[in-house]
Structure 1
Amino acid sequence: MFLRRWPSVAFRELFQSKMASRRSKTSPGLWQFALSLAATSIIWSPELHAQSTKSVAIDIPAVSLPEAVAILARETDASIGSVGALPKFETPPIHGHMSVAEALFRLLRHTGLHAVPVGTNAWRIERAPSRADRRTRPSGTTESIKSVVSSPIIVTATKRDLELGSTPDAVAVIALAPVDAVQPQNGTGYVADRVDGASLAGQGPGRNRLFLRGVADSAFGGVSQSTVAIVFDETRLTYEAPDPDIRLVDVSKVEVLKGPQGSLYGTGAMGGVYHIVSNRPELGQSQFIASLGGGLVADGGAPSSGSAIVNLPVLPGTAAVRMVAYADQSAGWIDTGNLQDTNRSSVVGLRAALGIEPGNGWRVDASGLAQWLNSRDSSYVYSPASYSRPVQLPEPQDNDLIHGSLSLTYKGAINLTLSTGYTHHAVDGTYDATQGATGLGVADPQRLIDAATYTVWDSEARLTGSSAPIHWLIGLSHLQARHRGAQQLQGFDGSAVIDAINRTTLETSLFGEVNGILVPRVQLSLGLRASRNSLKEELTTFAQPAEYTHSRWALTPSVALAYKAGADSIAYVRYGSSFRQGGISSDASGASVPLDGDELATLESGWRQRFGPVTTSLELYHSWWSSIQSDRILPGGIIATINAGTGAISGAELSTKLNLRHGWSVAAGTSLQSALLVRNETGLLLDDRRLPVVPNWASRLEIARQVTFGPWDLNANFRLNYLGPARLSFDPALDRGMGNTLAAAASISATRGAFALSIKLDNVFGARGDSFAYGNPLRIFAARQYVPQAPTTFRLTLSYRH
């Protein structure tokens, strides 16, 4: 109340209003002290009063406290400082017209901090004094004020801290609201729904592949390297494995770099980078967060979830640990024969991190991540818009990931980052083989067991610095990736391994980037990665072994030219490139065939602009993709990789956000793309040359409102996502349409003090569109397969923060 009504009403209410005392959870004596402190530190004037009560348009997403304060200062031209560094508390989103004092009150509520006006539109954030402080603190004590100068939105996926407004690249930053960052059901799909140009293959949690900007090679998940690099904090999680669907509990944000990022990340970043940024241990505060959720699924069971987050300083100001645990039980909705809800799934995750700051700009972070994701059965059916299928054997899927990392950073005139991370990733799947597996050497086949183990060891050292007007980055990296897998066909009387792979990839790279001001407002960026890549592969198909060894040098450059018309405007042109290793594959007879590496280059232009309450971005791009590695399903369910030919991808992405009065906001985006095979090397006669999985167009619309109602902070949201038509495969025998789906979701959350209540409704209209046209590689030739949209799902989550 003090911040919202200073100074005219505050003099009366600070001494007289019991309600003000209760809301602030302090005694009237504390209010009297705060008033006397403020009265002696500032001289009130009509100008100060006008500035502190003036209502302006404010739009602050759910970010950390330092970022939120920086955004507020930028949007209101306020001078805001702090006594010491601000803790990185999560803050709620704030939208609407209000005064700076009101916005600060909302940001600092329940943080133990308050804001003191120190001049015309100037504020100091400091710890709210306790009674003990008042008794022991000598009069006249002063503390240095640290200005809040951090950028509103910082992009770290670029391997150095860059302002979003100064990044000459297509970037989407998804910051998680506090109520969303405690819900274990939020994973890759949560981000894909909010990023234009992103699409997921729909095999199910832990089996999907993520694609960006039409760079989609196959829906089937063969042995070719992923086209999107998945990175957790400083190190890589995957290389050839499917998306592990890491749940976003206690995650600060997800950054998505669109387009080839070979100059920074090397192989496997042809479509872009998916970068998860977790909350690091806070050295100066203890924190406990817990959530418990439940719900109902139409035509299904009852989901449940829970999470717990603990932050404990070990040596206050020097070392702290942060621990995260979560679990989610998703209800099934597919009925198989007389069995109901057979496709139930569960996920359990644990994370632990240790942060140490010994001083002088040094920091050490050690962390571990483990996630176990299991589905009891598949989610495909044989009739459109159906949630049932005939009797068949269960098809459980398993995706288990363990990751550990260590990083050492130094912040100074030259910044140093040393990081290393190791990932062990096991992906197992079972398929009903009672149909489609005859003639493979096993009598009366029953099950096809597809088991694979992936390991990635990613290490990097890099330096960044600047010497006006030049900013530079140089680094050395080494990556080792291994893939061991086998497909075993089991029958009543025996079993046989029909396909096996043992593949090791090494990549050692020297990379760098430099950018500088050519003329006022014009910036040039140059990047280059020189890498030595080696591959050793052993492949056995239908008992026919083959070996392949290959090494190559590669250069992947990038060039960007940007024009900054102001702090809120940037236009750029960028060229980027990336590639994937070649190897060997198999034909229908099991004989080995060579597989060339593929390369992708993209020329794009972009524009981002903020006009008061409106933020808009537009990107146009064209990509050339040579020797495309694409997967085909061979008889017997074996997935083999071929060089399909040369592709061309052209597209456009437009997004905008409008902040209206009274806490209303509207966000919308659309992507259009033409992804075609312009030179056919598949050996098939193709009438349709569209690349697989990629929808022709997609759109999203989000309407939200944030209001304060008494002691409650309320947030309401309604979202629509449309995915246009897409195809499953190049193969005419499997050229099946999918997509053309509309998904609607609504949510409302209410926060009061330490408690928050969230209610979500997914698939509001009960749509049953075909989100994916594939489920079982053995049965796919005999009958069409459909993966319907999940039915209407209601979830309620209660969370507590202390």
Structure 2
Amino acid sequence: MRRRLAALACATMLASTGSAAAAERTIDLPAGDLGAAVRALSQQIGLSVGVESSALTRLQTPPLRGRMNANEAFSALLSGLPVRAVPVGDGAWRIVSAPAQTRPRKVAARSLTPRRPPPPQPIVVTASKRDLTLTDFAGSVTVLDANGTGVTLPALGTADIVRRLATLNSTHGGPGRNKLFIRGIADSSFLGPTQATVGQYLGDTRLNYNAPDPDLRLYDVGRVEVLEGPQGTLYGAGSLGGVLRAVPNAPELDRLSGSVSAGGAVTAHGDPSADFSGMLDVPLVESQAGLRVVGYGGVDGGYIDDTLRGLDDVNRVTTYGGRAALRILPAENWTLDIGAAVQTVDARDSQFADRDAPPLTRASAIAQGYSSDFLLADLKLSGEWDDIRFVSSTGVVRQDRDETFDATPLDGTPTAFSQNSEVLLVSTENRIARDLAQGYGLLVGASLLHNEVSTERDFGPARTMVASTGLDSKVDEATLFGEASFELAKRIVVTAGGRVSYTWLSGGGVDVPAQLSSLSTSASRGETAFLPSLSALYRASDGMEFFVRYQQGFRPGGLAVRDAFVQRFRNDRVETIEAGLRLRRQAFDLAATIAHTDWNDIQADIVDMNGFPATANIGDGRIESFDLKANWRPVDGLTLGGSLFVNDSKVTEPVQDFVFAKAVAAQNDLPNVPGFGVQGSARYRASFNGGWQFETGAQGRYVGTSRLGVRPLFDAPQGDYAEVDLDMRIGRGGRGVSLTVFNLFDVAGNRFSVGTPFTLGARPQITPLRPRTIRIGFDAEF
């Protein structure tokens, strides 16, 4: 009520300002701080408007666009904010804090008559690096937003995002060692030194280069944005398929707050699980500095039995971690953010089962556990001058992964292959941006990156393993990039951009066998890449846009160990042209995209003739894809949503090492991405007398058929399964209890992964879904 009264008072007082306030003008304001919005609005409507304090200037306002008078503009801008406008002279106004609410709010009983849903809030694509609204962004994007402007955000990890999006796929080797794929751009199930096809970011900090998805838990994360790729101009190497960007909640500087959650779960055919999390936000200097700390942990009970060793539920995974964020406002319009994150994943054994054995069982001679330790530190400085925004971000990431594979031959001595990979990634980027306003927008930036990987390997009888050929490699990259948008007409926006990168690659073998010591086991070289982009957006009407986009992406080459030799692999490049439609109405929104991608010199993590993981260029390919996303809000509180993905991909020209019978080559789809996938969800929220709130939802996903790899040995089917999840929560006053059912129908399936590459030929494998799991949880905030 207080917010409504503030907005009404603002509108009433502005009505007295006369013709200056009554005249309609074209208003074009990006989302951002209240201070910047007021400055821009003052220029566009011809009134003088000030703000009471610097603390109020940092309040966040939505984007505002259209023909309106000052009354309408200020009412829309201030609605929902704890402020009001007061007159201070002829044509002059001042934004001040609204008086505090003195009477308790009464919650009326909920009417049984369905009400029309409120209009959706504008969606801002922060991953555009210019905070463009969706109406100005030419591309396919999905926003998962905890504040209700997108799809409901899960509070767990990457696997939960994958279940909500048909275009996003992942391998399932276990938390901390998976690979993500977007829009059908997938190379293989195996992990090697090749760079990821999806760029992952926590805020503005890059999380991986040629390392797997760290699978950071998404506790206290406000939004996740998934941009379909390639995104070469904005994000450079390693964004062939797109970008996944998680944005943590920032510290609040004016109040102490916190939250806790805990839950326990039981899994059919397996061990119980448990999880917990906590958040504390402490203002250090009121309106000037604050600290936000998050901690979490959990145990995922195992559900796969090892019959050879006589052990049950061997694949238990334990995860612990936390984040800390310090925000300081050193001066007006300047913000300094310092952050850190740590997470450790410890898996007692691998996640696969034998395909031809009884369900959820396998026979392994040794344990195949793994661990993944992740550490991050970052610093971000941002400032504004009128409509220009400056951002400087620097991050350091350390990732350490240990894993063991069963390499025992049939009826042979227990044999193991172990691998330790240590990754150091240092990246920094500086950019200036101007959001699209008054007919044009601009982005200019530069970045530096250093990535080094040290991989050590051991192989042999489990108790007497000896060193095998490993690899040390380094990548140094320097980049300049830019993008400019122009509103050629009232409804047409054209954007052109480019990125120039110089990459220096170097490395060599480690523990090279003596018989190969006379061969060259090291190499270095430099390469330059230019990635252009061009797009056009047509606003056919309010709430309807068409766009077409051309974009390129690449991954630099590198070194890999293959058949005991250190060998080079070349860079690969994709170019995509796509066309899309977005339609938004008060209660309905829809987005559809069709794309064609050419992929040259495909890099893929493979398995060599001895079963060891390696990397090579496998040939050229092409991908045709179509995706459709829709949401419908038929009545207040009810949201129905769904997405669909159709993909057709081929390795059109395999290189000589991978040429096989034409009949097989003609069916050689790229691995790990199904030809068809569909996802649907329903969610309902309601409030009742006494402040009680109820929420429930259901979501289902069908994953079509794919294949394990590109060689005949790995021509094993995957996918072709459906899973359904249910959840509900009831709470009051910031406290609630919840019930969640995962995999309602207890489907086994076969997800996209591989357990050990050494026994694939003798014992086919599957990676089953977690059996039906029921979780009861409690959460509270203060």
TM-score bracket, shorter-length normalisation: 0.7 to 0.9
Segments ≥4 residues shifted beyond 6 Å: 37-44, 63-66, 86-89, 113-118, 180-185
1:439-493 CA-to-partner distances (Å, cap 9, x unmatched) read xxxxx45322111011110101111126732210111100001111122114366
Structure 1 residues 502 and 355: CA distance shift in structure 2, 3 A: same
What corresponds to 2:440 in structure 1? 470
- Aligned CA distance change for structure 1 residues 652 and 42 (closer, same or farther; 3 Å): closer
User: How far 1:152 moved relative to its partner?
Assistant: 2.3
Partner residue of 2:339 out of 367, 372, 376:
367
TM superposition shift of 1:3: 7.7
Match of 1:347 in 2: 319
Aligned partner letter, 2:708: L
Q: Equivalents in 2 of 1:498, 1:447: separation in Å?
A: 12
1:405 aligns with 2:378: yes
Give the counterpart letter for 2:256 in structure 1.
S
Q: When the two structures are superposed, what TM-score results if normalisation uses the length of structure 2? A: 0.83
Partner of 1:604: 578
Residues 593 and 433 of structure 1: CA distance in aligned 2, closer, same or farther (over 3 Å): closer
SS at match of 2:178: coil
Contact 2:355–2:763 (Cα < 8 Å) also in 1? no
Contact 1:436 1:636 in 2 (8 A): no
Q: Which residue of 1 aligns with 2:682?
A: 703
For residue 38 of structure 1, report the CA deviation from its aligned partner.
12
Match of 1:382 in 2: 354
Alignment of 1:312-323 (within 5 A): 312-323=282-293
Matches within 5 A, 1:416-427: 416-427=390-401
Does the aligned pair in 1 maintain the 2:256–2:281 contact within 8 Å? yes
Q: Distance in 2 between the 1:365 and 1:38 partners?
A: 32
Q: 2:230, 2:242 within 8 Å by CA — same for their partners in 1?
A: yes
Shift of residue 591, structure 1, vs aligned partner: 3.4
Question: Residues 182 and 197 of structure 1: is their aligned pair in 2 closer, same or farther, counting only changes over 3 Å?
Answer: closer
Partners of 2:188 and 2:446 in 1: CA distance:
32
Matching of residue 508 in structure 1 with residue 478 in structure 2: yes
Give the Å deviation of 1:86.
8.0
Number of the residue aligned with 2:642? 668
Structure 2 residue 563 is the aligned partner of structure 1 residue 563 = no
Would you say how many aligned residue pairs link Structure 1 and Structure 2? Answer: 693
Aligned counterpart, 1:295 = 265
**Taking structure 1 as reference, are residues 166 and 345 closer, same or farther at Cα in structure 2, changes over 3 Å only?**
same
Q: Which moved more, 1:626-635 or 1:597-606?
A: 626-635
CA contact (8 A) 2:146 2:152 kept: no
TM-superposed deviation, 1:781: 2.0
Letter in 2 for 1:173: V
Does the aligned pair in 2 maintain the 1:727–1:737 contact within 8 Å?
yes
Correspondence for 1:280 among 225, 250, 256: 250
Q: 1:492 to 1:743 in 2, by over 3 A?
A: closer
Contact 2:573 2:601 in 1 (8 A): yes
Amino acid at match of 2:703: L
Query: For 2:405 and 2:295, how far apart are their aligned partners in 1?
Result: 31
- Report the equivalent of 2:737: 757
Alignment identity in percent? 28
Mapped partners of 2:522, 2:581: distance in 1 = 48
Give the secondary structure class of the aligned counterpart of 1:691: coil
Is structure 2 residue 203 aligned with structure 1 residue 233? Answer: yes
Report the counterpart of residue 460 of structure 1 in structure 2.
429
**C-alpha distance in 2 between matches for 1:769 and 1:348:** 28
In the alignment, residue 496 of structure 2 is paired with which amino acid?
L
SS of 2:321 mapped into structure 1? strand
Per-residue deviation, 1:383: 2.8
Show CA shifts across 1:185-237 (max 9, x none). 71011111222311001111111100011110111011111111111111111
Task: Look up the match of 1:446.
Answer: 415
TM-aligned CA deviation for residue 394 of structure 1: 1.5
Q: Which shifted more, 772-781 or 758-767?
A: 772-781
Residue 76 (structure 1) aligns with:
none
Q: Tell me which moved more, 241-250 or 563-572.
A: 563-572
Shift in CA distance, 695/183, structure 1 to aligned 2, threshold 3 Å = closer
| Structure 2 residue 776 is the aligned partner of structure 1 residue 776 | no
Q: Distance in 2 between matches of 1:43 and 1:266?
A: 50
Partners of 1:87 and 1:128 lie apart in 2 by 17
CA distance in 1, matches of 2:278, 2:637: 31
Matches within 5 A, 1:22-41: none
**Residues 365 and 414, structure 2, Cα contact 8 Å, conserved in 1:** no
How do 1:202-281 and structure 2 match up within 5 A? 202-281=172-251
Distance 1:601 1:43 in 2: 54
Question: Which residue is 2:588 aligned to?
Answer: 614
CA distance in 1, matches of 2:488, 2:767: 53
Pick from 493, 496, 507 the counterpart of residue 523 of structure 1: 493
- 2:333 and 2:692 map into 1 onto residues whose CA distance is 40
Q: Distance in 1 between matches of 2:385 and 2:177?
A: 43
Question: Deviations 1:622-643 (Å, cap 9, x if unpaired)?
Answer: 0000010112212443112121
Aligned mate of 1:793, from 753, 769, 773 = 773
Correspondence 1:648-687 to 2 at 5 A: 648-681=622-655, 682-686=657-661, 687=664
Conserved 8 A contact 2:9-2:84: no
Counterpart of 2:549? Answer: 574
Q: Secondary structure at the match of 1:263?
A: helix
Is 1:712 the counterpart of 2:692? The answer is yes
- In 2 relative to 1, CA 715–778 (structure 1 residues): closer, same or farther, beyond 3 Å? same
What is the alpha-carbon distance in structure 1 between the residues aligned to residue 7 and residue 232 of structure 2? 55
Alpha-carbon contact 1:291-1:799 (below 8 Å) kept: yes
Could you tell me whether the CA contact under 8 Å between 1:617 and 1:654 is conserved in 2? yes
Please give the per-residue CA displacement for 1:319-377, whole angstroms capped at 9, x wherever unaligned: 00000000111111111233221111111111111101123200100000001111111
In structure 1, give the amino acid aligned to 2:362: R
User: Secondary structure of the equivalent of 1:770?
Assistant: coil
Q: Note the C-alpha offset of 1:757.
A: 1.8
| Structure 1 position 611, deviation (Å) | 2.5
Q: Is the 8 A contact 2:576 2:598 kept in 1?
A: yes
| Cα distance between partner residues in 2 of 1:408 and 1:546 | 42
Contact 2:741/2:774 (8 A) holds in 1:
yes
**1:591 correspondence with 2:565:** yes
Following superposition, the deviation at residue 252 of structure 1 comes to 0.6
1:691 to 657, 662, 670: 670
Distance 1:182 1:364, change over 3 A: farther
| C-alpha distance after superposition, 1:134-177 (max 9, x if no partner) | xxxxxxxxxxxxxxxx9722111111211122210111111136
Alignment of 1:534-553 (within 5 A): 534-539=504-509, 543=513, 544=516, 546-553=521-528
Aligned AA (1:195): L
Cα-to-partner distance string for 1:492-522 (whole Å, 9 max, x where unaligned): 6632222301010011011100001112211
Measure the CA separation in 2 of the matches of 1:707 and 1:537. Answer: 59
- In 2, Cα distance between equivalents of 1:773 and 1:694: 11
Tell me by how many angstroms 1:128 deviates: 2.7
Q: Distance in 1 between matches of 2:212 and 2:581?
A: 32
**One-letter code of the match for 1:383?**
R
For residues 496 and 753 of structure 2, what CA distance do their matches in structure 1 show?
Answer: 42
CA distance in 2, matches of 1:492, 1:175: 48
- 2:379 is paired with a residue whose SS is strand
- Aligned-partner Cα distance in 2 for 1:460–1:539: 31
SS state at 1:791 partner: coil
Q: Which residue of 1 aligns with 2:727?
A: 747
CA distance in 2 between partners of 1:585 and 1:719 (Å): 41
What is the TM-score when the length of structure 1 is the normalising length? Answer: 0.81
Provide the rounded CA distance (Å) in 2 between the counterparts of 1:225 and 1:437.
37
2:732 partner letter: R
Q: Which residue of 2 aligns with 1:496?
A: 466
SS in 2 for 1:238: coil
Counterparts in 2 of 1:184 and 1:254: CA distance versus 1, 3 Å: closer
